[in-house]
Every structure is written in C-alpha cells, then in structure tokens.
Chains A and B, each alone.
Chain A
Amino acid sequence: PRPAPRADETLAQIPPPRPPMAAAASTMLESLPAPLLRALRLKTKQQELLLRVSALALIYVLAFAVRLFSVLRYESMIHEFDPYFNYRTTLYLTEHGYSEFWNWFDHESWYPLGRVVGGTLFPGLMVTAALLHRLLRALSLAVHIREVCVLTAPFFAANTTLVAYAFGREIWDSGAGLVAAALIAVCPGYISRSVAGSYDNEGVAIFALLLTFYLFVRAVNTGSLAWSLAAAFGYFYMVSAWGGYVFIINLLPLYVLVLLVTGRYSQRLYVAYNCTYVLGMLLGMQIRFVGFQHVQSGEHMAAMGVFFLLQVFFFLDWVKYMLNDVKLFKSFLRITLTCVISVGTLALGIGTASGYISPWTGRFYSLLDPTYAKDHIPIIASVSEHQPTAWSSFMFDFHILLFLFPAGLYFCFKRLSDATIFIVMYGLTSMYFAGVMVRLILVAAPAVCLISAIAVSATIKNLTTLIRSKSKSPQTTGKTTGSKAAAKGAVDQPLPFQHNVAVALLLGAFYLLSRYAIHCTWVTSEAYSSPSIVLSARGHNGGRVIFDDYREAYYWLRQNTPTDAKIMSWWDYGYQITAMGNRTVIVDNNTWNNTHIATVGRAMSSYEDEAYEIMQSLDVNYVLVVFGGVTGYSSDDINKFLWMVRIGGGVFPVIKEPDYLVNGEYRVDKGASPKMLNCLMYKLCYYRFGELTTEYGKPPGYDRVRGVEIGNKDIKLEYLEEAFTTSNWIVRIYKVKPPKNRS
C-alpha cells in the first residue's frame, strides 16, 4: 500500500526503506555471529592482495604459455645451434654425474685438438636443468631430460616476471611492479631467446641478471648485509650461467661511481657494494671458465678500482670527521688523492705490462667500438647476432616500449632515488649495447620493460585519480550542499573536460597496451617460434611443407658412417653434428681457435687437390655442406662463403678475397671468377646440380636463392664422392676417398 500523501511529503528526505530482500539479507547477516562476519568480509587490503596475487599468477602462467608455440607447432625439440651443445652436455651431466662432467675432455669436437668442456663452458644452465630433472625424478615423475631442457627457458622466463615484479616494487611501487611483470612476460626481445626449446645460457641468465640487480638495489636501499649476500649469490649464479656477467661487474661500479659523484654516498651503499663485490668475486672464481679473471682481466678492473675508491672515500670521510678542520683536511685530501691515484695507475700499468692483467678481449672492444670487429676479427663480425641492430628490429622487439621508455625516464628523473638512478643507468647502458649488437637487445629488454612499466603505472595512476576525484565530487555535492563542501569544490576547481579527457587518455593507454599484447603474440608465433632445424614453407595449395633435411642428414651420419668418422663442415653446424649426428667434427660453434676455423675456411675456398691435402692432414672422412639452391633456403654455405674466404684469408694470406669476386661483386653464374667456380665449396654445393631442373621455365642448374643459372655445370670430383644428399638437397655430404695406391 502506498503511504499517505501527507506522511510522504513530510519525510521526503528520509531514505526509502531497503527492498525486503536486502533487508532480509542484512538481518540474516546481522544474526550471524560478528567474528564470522568479519572473517568472511575481505578488507580492502586483502582484496588488493588477492587481486595482485592472482594477477601475478596469471602473468606467470602467461609468460610460460606464450613460449610454447614452438612445441605446439613443431614438437618438443631443441632449437638453433648452441642449444644442441648445451643439451649434449646436460645429457652427459645427467648420465655421468657432476665430477665426470667437470673433468670432461670432449674428443668429438675440434679434432684433433679436442676441447676441455668442463673448463670452457658456463655450467649454470646445465646444472640447473640437471637439478630440475633430479627434483622431478625425486617427485617420482619420470620425465626425460630433453623435456626438462626444452622447458627450462620458459620456466625461467616465468620466474623472471616475479623478479621483475619485485624489482618494480622496489624502485617505484607495486603497481609498477605488476605492469613490469606483465610487460616482460610477453616482451618479444626477451621471448626471442627464451621460447621452449631455446635451451641457451641466456634463458636462465636474464633471470639471474635481473635477480642480481634487484637484490643489489634492495641491498643499497636497506643497507642490509643479508641482501648484499643474496646479491652476491645472485651474481654467482649469473657468473655460472653466462658470459654477460661482465655487464654486471661493470655496471655496478659505474653506478657506485655515479652515486659518489652526485653526492649520494651513504653507509648503505658502502655495505652493499663491498659485500656484493668481495663475495661475488670470490664466488665467481669458483667457476673454472672464469677463474682468476676477476683479478687479472682488464674487463673486471673497473669493479676493483671502484672497490678501492670506496675504501679511500670512507677513509677520507673518517679523517674529515676526526680532523674537524677544513684547511687541514684539504691538504690531507690533496696528498692522499695524489698518492692513491699514482699508486693505482702504477699498479695497473705494471699489471698490464707484465701481462698479469690481460688486455680487453675482442668482443669487449667491439662493444665499445662497433667497427672494431669488422676491421680486426672477422670471426666475430661474421656472426649474424653480432651485427649492429637495425631500427626495425628495435621496433619489432620493443614495440610501444620504445616510446614509453623516454616517458619512464622522465618519471624516474622526477622522483630521483638510489633505485631509480640504478634503473636509469641500467636502461641507458643496455640500450647503447643493444644498439651495438643485435643479441644484446635481450639484456636491454628487462630495463626497457621496467622503465616503461613506471611510465605506464604512473600515468594510469594519475589518470585514475583524476577520474575518481571527479566522479566522487558530484556525489558529495549532491548530498551535502553545505558551505564546507562548496568551498572545497571551489578550491579544487577541475580543468574543463578533465574527466572526459582522462577517460579518453585511459582508453588510449589500454588500446596501446592491448596492441602491444597482440603484437607480442604475433611476433612470438610468427618469428620466434621456429626451431630453425626444421624449416617450413607454404606449399602451392597453401598447406605447410616441412623440410626436415638437417635431421635427415645428421641421422644418416649417425647411423651410416663409422663411429670414428671425422666430419668437416663450416663451424655453424658443428654443435648439431656432434649432438644429433654423434660424430667428431673439426670445428664447431665454440669458435675458440681462429686458426683451426681458418684452416677449414681455407680448405673450402681452395681447389680440390689443395683442399684434399688439408683434409688429409686433418683426417677428414666426410665433408658436409648446406645448399639452398633447390629449395630457396637462403642461409646456406654459398651465401656464407665470403666469410670463409675472409676468415681463411685472415690467417692464410694465400686466400685472397678479390680472387672470388668479379669487380667487387659476388656471383656464382657464368660471370663468376674462375677461382670461385672451381673452389671446393662451389664444387660440393653444385655437384650434379647442373642436371637438375629446379623451376619450371628455367634452364637446368637454376639456383633459386641467387636467382641465376650456375656457371659451372660440369663438375667432376676427383678426391671426393657424393655420399648422401637429403631429399631437398639442403644438406650434402661427401666422402673423402682414401689416398690412391701408388702405381
């Protein structure tokens, strides 16, 4: 029944009664015991925690899942080149145990030199995978070590998101941490090296790198010994995992130096750096491959210099406090500084001159001077991942982060603290290195994600506070028309359309972020998830055609050659041949001996009879070349051939690059130079290719990669014979004939 009109008028301002349902519910709730009610109701803080934890859990799963494209599309297999070596060593580790692994002399590579594997690799990755494998076994899960290896990189990428979250929280706030975790989970620059099957050092190293940085920043922020110790152990893990630890050991002192210069020196910094450096150095020495480099190599001297500088700084501080006299202190300062600098320079000079301190390595030089490698070390310059980065690949790998990065820097500078200075320095230095070498985009990726996350988080937070204050104020003004509220509104007069603009900007930000997510997924599925062992192409009818030639050839080697056969090939395929073909190779991807590689390069670029002598001296039984002329596979040996000539010529001056070029042009058709047309590589690639019609309407012997008809169709082999050619001709294996009997 409607209430009486009078009463209705009277009590117009009194809120209407609640609907009966709600009232019933509320009475029911009230009838519950109060503690239970309190227990059931989540506090705002708990709600936030729940939201945060579930978001993190989702990000964790996402980071893992997005890296599984390659497993779904191909199979659970190891990718690329280096991972095959890592897989092989891990297999050895699980089968023979740690001490055997540590003392392993591998006679299957670098014949006849061999390789001391235990002393020439970073064991972090293998030990990690072996431990994971053992853990799973202990949980009575009978998984194969291959599956563990394939999934190690995604697993560590997922862990990296957690570290990114913690790091973001340390330098900004938990919102930024959450955004950083989400950004890094799908950042293509990181995914490119951490998809399932990409079982490489970088997979765990980025996790270790970020962890070390996080722990160090945490140590600097708290000044606690415990965190410094943790940072030292993080550094130890990094040293055991990847040669990129040199970046840490140079960035930390640089950071300390910047803090000193900007007058931000504190006891916290002193504790953090000293503890981390001393312990990290001692721990790092335990890795055989690194050994005493921390005290002997030029690349590590900066850290030691800053270590001593900190002591001097601390000492001077103390003296200043004790003296309590500006004039006296100034003269003391002058004397001490002169002494310290001269002693330091002297020590460095003597160390370098006596050879105790080794000079910088070529790779380090090429980082500081991008043109260095091209002029001096062709073997470094020849590696595709050592090329300077193109703008397009920056865009490809970072997408919107590239624009958010400067914005994040702005926010960092606006709120300078020890932590933000660190992330700014990390971002700027790693960006520089990313520009020098393609592969170092990987190192820059976490920094870019963190700094962009600060930009995103700060912007969104500002926008939402605008929107919330705007949406709250009409409510309050509607309810209270008191003078107090009105005065408040007058003071905080909003800009025109502030609310709408904020909403539009927020939507724009979400649009950008969603584009980022879409781009990342697309890049991952299209570009970074192919194993490069199995090639795939679109057939005429749109179906997928698989070229499994590499494995065909390697498996043929494994099954149908004598177990002690020595295979000569360009170094790219060395790891794969030893891992999949289980045969001895002359050179492999370790590239530690330039002369040996140059010898192979020389053999490939010589005439057959000269090459035969070289092959005989190296006991070569089979020669393997990769040839894409039939399928149009462009990264084949003919396209890599000039590097073989250059590297060979770098050691053996008989090989001259101009001999293989015609007017500075590299060609394989009739106009090619006679040396080119008759060198071993040319002969092996094009042997009997002149009889094959590759494309309709083209003459026989039409090379589909170079797009020309080859120049030498009548190739006769005298000292070698074709032993196996894969079904698409991608891999060709030749047998070296034994020497002829004397007649």
Chain B
Amino acid sequence: SKRSLNFVSSIGVTVFTKRVENAGSEPVSKVLLAFPNIQAKNLAAIRAFGTEGKVKGLSSVLPIEVVEPSGVPPELTFFSASLHKPLQKGKILHLDVLTVFTHFLQPFPEEITQADSQLVVFQDSSHYLSPYPVKVQTLSIRLPGGRVESYTKYGNTKLVDSELKYGPYEDVPPFSYNPIIVHFENNNPFAVAKELIREIEISHWGNVQITEHYNIVHGGARLKGEFSRLDYQSRPYARGVSSFRHLIARLPARAHSIYYRDEIGNISTSHLWSDSKKTQLEIEPRFPLFGGWQTTFTIGYGLPLQDFVFSADGKRFLNITFGSPMEEILIEKLIVKVVLPEGSKDIDVSAPFPTNQWQEVKYSHLDIAGRPVLVLEKPDVIPEHNLHFQVYYKFNNISLLIEPMMLITGFFLLFVACIAYMHTDMSISKNSPSYLAKLQWDEVQATVQQIQGIFHQCLAVHDKLETSLHDLSRTGDAKSCKAARKAADAQFKELAKELKPLLLSVQSSPQSYQIWPKLDDLVAKERELQDKLMARHATVVDSVEKKQRGQDIENRISSQQQKIAALRQEVESLLEYLSEI
C-alpha cells in the first residue's frame, strides 16, 4: 500500500494506492477501509477507483458506504467499497482511494503576530490503519515548501525537498497505529466559508442569474497584537505573510453583469478577465484577512440560459455545478437555492451526492403565486464537490406572457379608469346653483360648437363662390357661375334656417351673457359678408356678360373687395375667439 498526503493547499488530500490480494478462499465483494473517528468526522469526500488485474488499466468508480462491522473497536469508522464483481481467490485488485479531510491541519501556535509565519501541525499514523494485514507500505507527505519545524522521526524517515517519506514498512499487522506529528510552515490562504448561499434563478427570457452570499473567515492562526498598515504596505511578504488579500473565482464562460458588493455597498476592488472558455474574477475583500478575521460579501452574475437549461422528454432541466466557483475554499455549510420560474411543476433533482432538500416559495417582481424554490443543503463542501447536478421541471412557455399581460392590463385599466373619471359626474349635490350653472354652461358650449360648425360651412360656401368666379375668369362661362350663385344662395338660406333655433337657445340661456354679444356681432357680420359677396358676384358676372374690360371690372369691385376682405377677417377672428371659450 502506498499513501501520499498532500498539504499544498489548506485542505488535506490523501490518496491511497492499494494492491489488494484475496488471500482467503471465498470470493470477496467488498473492501473495508478504516479511519479513526477523529478523522472520519472531518472527512469531506471519499472516492475509490478499482482496477482488477496486474496491469493498471481503465479504473472504475466504486460505490462506497458506511458500515459497522461487528467486533471492531468503536473508535474507528468503517467504509466499505463494493466491487463491481467479486474478487476471486488469489486475484489482485488495484484500489485507489481518494479522501479529502477538512480541518486536518491545526495552527500551532494558535495566535501569531503580523510578522510571523503560520505554522501548522498535523497528526496521523505512519502506518496505514488497515483492517487487513499489509505486506509493504509507504507514506509520503507533500508539504507546501518552506520551513519544517519538526517531524516525528522513525527509522526509514526521509525529508527530501518538501516531501517527507516514511517507510517502506513490511508485514504490518492489521490495525497497527504508529503516531507521527509534523509541524511545518503553511501560509496558504485558510479561506473557510462559514456559510455560502448560492441562489440560481432561472428566467426563461434568457438568463440564469446566480447570486452567491459568502461569509468568509481566515481559518488559520489568529492575529494577536497590532495590525500595522505601514508594515503591511512596505513589506507585505514579511509582514502579513499569513494573510490573504484576494480570492479568485472561475466563472463559466459568457458570464455577464458581474457584480461584487456587500451589505453597505459596492466593493470596487475586483478585476475581471474573460476569454471564450472561462471568466476569471479576482476579488479583493475590503481589507486583507488575517487569522480569525472575517468578512461577508455577495457576488452575482448572469449566464446565458441556453448554456445551462436544456429540455428532454417534455421536461426541462438545469445542469450546473453545485459548489462555489472560488478556488481553494472550504465551505462549511453550502445552501443551493434553485429558483424556478413561476408556474414550474414536477420538480425533481438529481445530485451526485446526498444533500438535504426542501422546497420554498420566493416572491419576486410581479409574482402572484410565487416562484418555487428548491433548496439543497450540504455541509463541508470542498472543490472536489464541484460537480454538475440537475434539476428537472416542467414549464409552459405561455406562462412567460403572464407578467407582461398583467402589466398591459394594469395600464389599460388605469387609462380606462382615467377616461371614466373624466366622463362621469362626481358632484354630490345635483341641484345646487353652481352645479346647474355648470350644466347650462356645458349646454351653451355644445350649442356654440354647433354654431361654429354652421359658420364654417358658410365660409366653405364663400370659398365656392370665389372659385366659381375664378372659373369664370378662365372659361368665361357665365351660366354655370350664375348657377353656382343660386346654389350658394339656397345654401345660405338653409344654413340661416338651421342657425336660428340654435341662436335662440343660446340667447335664452342665462350663462351666455358673455358670449352673446360676440355671437350677435358674428351673425351680423356674416350676413353683411354674404350680401357683399353676392353683390360682388353679381357685379362681376354682369360685367363679364357685358364684355367689359378687366380693368373696369376691377375698378368697380375694388371697394367691395376691400370690405369683403375686412369682413372676412373679422368673422374669422370672431370664430377664433369663440373656439377659445
């Protein structure tokens, strides 16, 4: 058995490589793996890959479950990897087990000053804690480089560069434990998210909006004493080496509308690089994080819908990564909320690992029933958990139109209400003098409008007369001109007949005292104008019939012409005055 531990990051990763031989007589279908409880408690992920045969070939993932075999010490936790097919007697299996432990490294000393490097201590056994006898085993520990304060020395212990090797040990009995302690420098960012809430909101208008609320703590040795900005600024690597000032998030390609803020506003210290494969966001918290310091912030970004939501078998499904896009971060509690569009049904989830699940309802803009929210919760999430998961749901595209239609209806109703208000009578008392006066005034206004209409018709007839005169000048056809005059005369009479009752009604109304004189004036002027026009028309036609010279005709009518123009102007100005009432 070979075992290698990797502490280059702040999260402990162990890889076993085992050659398992079935020395018994029965075929074996399960391999037991044992860990002390103290470690198993912090085990974030365990994965096993098995290959049968001597040659390393294609390995397959083996399912793993927790078991409690009888007759073993209670301080141990057992996992069993079930093989795809039982291992026959004498056959050999290559088993690779990957385990990830959180809180594997303990800072020691627990409090350091700004100038100190962070030292961590790690305890384990140099022998692999195996329920089976082990023929040959080695342990290699990869350290992040830098100072190694101390390590337990046994025979066969070597420290080469930053790799510490124990073994090989031969013929180790089952459950042998040989404690070792390694104390070394590790200034990697101990970024721990106490809680991360990821909200994935799907909008079928074409966007998947992701909002992540982080609460990040520096999980390493606590800072004691002063924090001196001067030292930090002038010698950041010597003074402040244990702190970290930025985090890097790898967002999916085509992420857009990225923001980075916290409870009190936008944080301006962030950088963004993007290419066709990924978007890289480097965020700096408002202040550098020293041991024990914490900060909270929110990042959010939009993703194109077609990259993450697909449809199959009449259902749609979201396919997106579970964990945080941040590199090298341990999340103690991750809550993923998938907010589906309003009206989604038959919600179903498939995740690559067990999670707590429940449903909520979220109300956003213009929601009536609320959006269904699927919540997944998982403790101790590490970058290895950053796998895709799927949420299946049914959604009808027609539902997309509900909200725009609501808005349209709302505005429509508003306008209708306005129109209705303008046209309804809201007065309380129906027989108060002011109300009656208002009614009468409305009546007068309506009549005046009718009268105006009649006058405009009169003016149109005037124009017709003028046109007929003009035609006369061109064609010399006096007969048709006379006919036109006759028609105009008839029209004038008809209009005058129409006008009479209207004028009477205005005159009789008590509200018309203001406009009646003007109206009276207008009627008189119009009558005069009609007379003059007729007279001129007659003169011109007469002259043309008598074959008089143009100059003479002009002389004869010139005085009339001026009067007509003046009258016409007065009539028009009076009409304008009336229309302004």
Contacts and interface: CB of A to CB of B under 8 A. Distances in A.
B474 A3 contact: yes
B520 interface: no
Nearest to A582: B263
Interface residues of A, number: 55
B293 A6 contact: no
A142 B364 CA distance: 5
B230 A7 contact: no
Given A44-B579, A476-B569, A480-B562, A34 B453 contact: yes
B287 A724 contact: yes
Contacts of A729: 229
Nearest to A734: B226
A475 B385 CA distance: 88
A142 B264 contact: no
A725 B553 CA distance: 104
Contact of A75 (B266, B366, B449): B266
A392 interface: no
Nearest to A579: B264
9 contacts: A6-B550, A11-B470, A11-B540, A141-B365, A480-B566, A480-B569, A482-B562, A552-B287, A725-B227
Interface string B296-338: 1000000000000000000000000000000000000000000
A44 B576 contact: yes
B368 interface: yes
A41 to B, nearest CB: 9
Find the residue from B287, B296, B364, B580 having the highest chain A CB count within 10 A: B287
Contact of B473 (A10, A74, A479, A554): A10
A722 B294 CA distance: 18
Interface string A104-136: 000000000000000000000000000000000
A546 interface: yes
Nearest to B225: A721
A383 interface: no
B525 interface: no
Interface in B255-288: 262-269, 286-287
Given A140-B365, A142-B364, A38 B230 contact: no
Contacts of B550: 6-12
B566 A13 contact: no
A45 B565 contact: no
A723 B226 contact: yes
B469 interface: yes
A520 interface: no
Contacts of B293: 559-560
A38 B457 CA distance: 13
Nearest to B543: A10
B488 to A, nearest CB: 15
A688 interface: yes
A225 to B, nearest CB: 16
Interface in B519-562: 540, 544, 549-551, 553-554, 557-558, 561-562
Given A34-B453, A75-B266, A140-B366, A548 B286 contact: yes
A218 B117 CA distance: 76
B473 A688 contact: no
A722 B228 contact: yes
Given A140-B366, A555-B287, A481 B473 contact: no
B295 A551 contact: no
Given A44-B579, A45-B580, A476-B569, 7 more contacts: A4-B474, A7-B472, A11-B469, A142-B365, A484-B566, A554-B264, A555-B287
B228 A555 contact: no
Contact of A14 (B286, B364, B470, B579): B470
B466 interface: yes
A691 interface: yes
Contacts of B296: 559
B476 interface: yes
A692 B230 contact: yes
Contacts of A17: 467, 470
B561 A13 contact: yes
B264 A38 contact: no
Given A11-B473, A44-B579, A141-B366, A479 B229 contact: no
A431 B37 CA distance: 80
A691 B228 CA distance: 12
A536 B365 CA distance: 35
Contact of A551 (B229, B265, B367, B470): B265
A149 interface: no
Given A44-B579, A140-B363, A556-B287, A14 B265 contact: no
